[in-house]
Amino acid sequence: DTAVSQTPKYLVTQMGNDKSIKCEQNLGHDTMYWYKQDSKKFLKIMFSYNNKELIINETVPNRFSPKSPDKAHLNLHINSLELGDSAVYFCASSRGLAGAIGELFFGEGSRLTVL
Partner 1 sequence: TQLLEQSPQFLSIQEGENLTVYCNSSSVFSSLQWYRQEPGEGPVLLVTVVTGGEVKKLKRLTFQFGDARKDSSLHITAAQPGDTGLYLCAGAGGSGNTGKLIFGQGTTLQVKP
Chain residues binding partner 1 by CB under 8 A are 4, 31, 33, 40-45, 48, 50, 55-56, 90, 92, 97-104, 106-109
Nearer to partner 1, 27 or 56 (CB): 56
Pairing of strands 87-94, 105-106: antiparallel
Give min distance, CB of 40 to partner 1, in A. Answer: 7
Nearer to partner 1, 69 or 99 (CB): 99
Cα–Cα separations (whole angstroms), residue 37 to 26, 27, 40, 61: 23, 23, 8, 16
Question: Nearest 5 degrees, angle CA 19-CA 57-CA 46?
Answer: 55
Give min distance, CB of 30 to partner 1, in A. Answer: 12
Nearer to partner 1, 17 or 26 (CB): 26
Give min distance, CB of 15 to partner 1, in A. Answer: 25
